[in-house]
Amino acid sequence: MNLHSNKGDFMKKGLTAICYRFFTNLANPTRLDVLEQLMTKPMSVNELATATGQEQSMISHNLKPLLECNLITLQKEGKKHVYIINKETIGTIFQAVQNHAERFCPTGGKCLKGDN
């Protein structure tokens, strides 16, 4: 049995699972909207609800997976909970997507059929 081959297979499956969980978080429009809002400044659930036009319960529901993957952090300010974006990760990803759209998407970033 070739140990390197098995190790490589394990690493591929492990990375696939990590990528799946990571990109599933980013594939949700509400979560992306929350992340975009948090790029401007830290916000509470109520501030995020107002900024996104979503119900507070919908925002709260979508914050949990972002917290679990450390894409955002929670800071308590008295009774208020403020959410802060992980700029090191999300800022880098948003910049990479913007660069890709500008360089490689001749339709102005509309890479999928049916985009408006």
**Mind listing the pLDDT tens digit for each residue in 58-114?**
999 999 999 999 999 999 989 999 999 999 999 999 999 888 888 888 776 666 655
pLDDT attached to residue 12 = 57
Query: Domains in the chain, start-ordered, CATH in brackets?
Result: 29-104 (1.10.10.10)
Q: Please state, in angstroms and rounded to a whole number, the distance separating the CA atoms of residues 94 and 36.
A: 9
Nearest to 31 by CA among 81, 90, 77, 79: 90
10, pLDDT greater than 70: no
Q: Please state, in angstroms and rounded to a whole number, the distance separating the CA atoms of residues 23 and 66.
A: 11
73 and 67 in contact (C-beta within 8 Å)? yes
pTM for this prediction: 0.78
Report which DSSP code applies to 43.
B
